[in-house]
Structure 1
């Protein structure tokens, strides 16, 4: 029998489907990996922002974890919105038990600017979860919180990636340069080499859920057994297409197009209004 690769996302929700576990599951499906999800927080949000959120009781999160790991242990897993110290401690326990790749998308602030992680939890993610990570995938604002300095250019991206790996203890880090000017450059550092992944920038407001989608594709590829560089390279192309072939939906920062990769080589399917 052919073994189907499995991937698990542990994250919050987006009822409009552009981010969180909804975006992760779409990404897993597009990469032909069987997706599973554990809900940490229910978030009332749309393309305009977050209006409310409710954290799941820690006992219920643990029951979800048990349900997955007792039956279908994942070939790779990722965390997105993990807001409390209790959640992080529980996740760390399961990551240590499971010998499979672990991706951290350090979701701290929504695209709209709303805080999604308690301030007290930021030090715990540094000390407890990042040392367990196969790869960490922060954008510029998230990386600045993790490394405590301002990021203004590619050299700063390199410096941040090196700190996350060499000082905070991750096996690898890809710091995304989407918030900087010019080409969309991400820097991957794997303890030995810096890899620069470049793409032409698509100027659009529709970038909701880009971090979730990018990290989910990396997780899916690691579940298939791909090495980190190949997984990140595939993730970079996937998210580039997802942004380029905009869906142009939502009245705020709209979602990316999870089937954009199928449209490579075609003109942009939608134009911004």
Structure 2
């Protein structure tokens, strides 16, 4: 008797490496898996880093990245794609050319500044991201340091976050989630903006240093919920809640000597399967 066949929601992370396990493709893989999706990776760079910061970045040959993309797509077509660290212009061009006909959702986390304040990419790469990846992305998810790099303006309030999001839409983004985690105060607020308007998301701030990789985690969580078929704003809300609980779940953990990682598996889900019949 023939058994039923099942498919899964697959999410491809195109991102850099983190040997300490808290950010990059490691955080993405943990997040995607914890949310019941099937995780795949294309490695774009090899940063040497830990919870205290990035020490050095080694390049991955552009041809090797192209080969990775082609090999994944010829075998497993992703339900959603998350893009993280793309640290030189030629890589941006390659990814944009490859994904120009992709039919799923693309979540782009413009990784430009590390948690320790280290600028990770050059100006020509920033311009390439704006010109080539912003128009392709369903959503971009910059934090306030990255917003400052993108629009050359410091953001220190919710009204300025709203204005900054509007400016990013004018630069060609389809939708923007401006993350306000770097603002002072007891609330942690983010603003989602698109041509349909804006929506404010707020949670209580958790007193902890364990936030390493929170941006990577959030963008891959949004991609996962969208791969599962969630509506756009619902996926963003669920992803923000997941990150908040992952931070809360790591609050009393001591991993590393700097900004520790999130607890991605605070409430793991089994792989979600769909009956092909």
Moved over 4 A (4+): none
Work out the CA distance in 2 between the residues paired with 1:112 and 1:257.
20
Q: Is the 8 A contact 1:238 1:261 kept in 2?
A: no
- So what's the TM-score if we normalise by structure 1? 0.93
Deviation string for 1:163-194 (max 9, x for gaps)?
A: 222x1222211000000012000000121221
Work out the CA distance in 1 between the residues paired with 2:267 and 2:184.
24
More strand as a share of residues? 2
List alignment gaps of at least 5 residues for structure 1.
Answer: 263-273
Answering whether residue 252 of structure 2 is matched by residue 252 of structure 1, we say: no
Q: What aligned pairs does 1:81-92 form with structure 2 within 5 A after superposition?
A: 81-92=85-96
The one of the two structures with greater contact order (alpha-carbon pairs below 8 A, sep at least 6) is 2
What SS does the aligned partner of 2:100 have?
helix
Work out the CA distance in 2 between the residues paired with 1:213 and 1:220.
10
Work out the CA distance in 2 between the residues paired with 1:82 and 1:122.
9
Deviation string for 1:218-272 (max 9, x for gaps)?
A: 011111121210110011101111111223311011111112346xxxxxxxxxx
1:119 to partner: Cα distance: 2.5
1:41 is aligned to 45
Work out the CA distance in 2 between the residues paired with 1:118 and 1:33.
33
2:104 is aligned to 100
Answering whether residue 144 of structure 2 is matched by residue 140 of structure 1, we say: yes
1:66 equivalent among 51, 70, 76: 70
Work out the CA distance in 2 between the residues paired with 1:114 and 1:181.
20
Answering whether residue 232 of structure 2 is matched by residue 236 of structure 1, we say: no
1:2 to partner: Cα distance: 3.3
2:181 is aligned to 178
Work out the CA distance in 2 between the residues paired with 1:152 and 1:60.
40
2:216 equivalent among 183, 187, 212: 212
Deviation string for 1:193-219 (max 9, x for gaps)?
A: 211000000121111100000000001
List alignment gaps of at least 5 residues for structure 2.
Answer: 269-277
Counting matched residue pairs gives 261
1:95 to partner: Cα distance: 1.6
RMSD, aligned α-carbons: 1.1
Deviation string for 1:134-166 (max 9, x for gaps)?
A: 00000000011112222111111111111222x
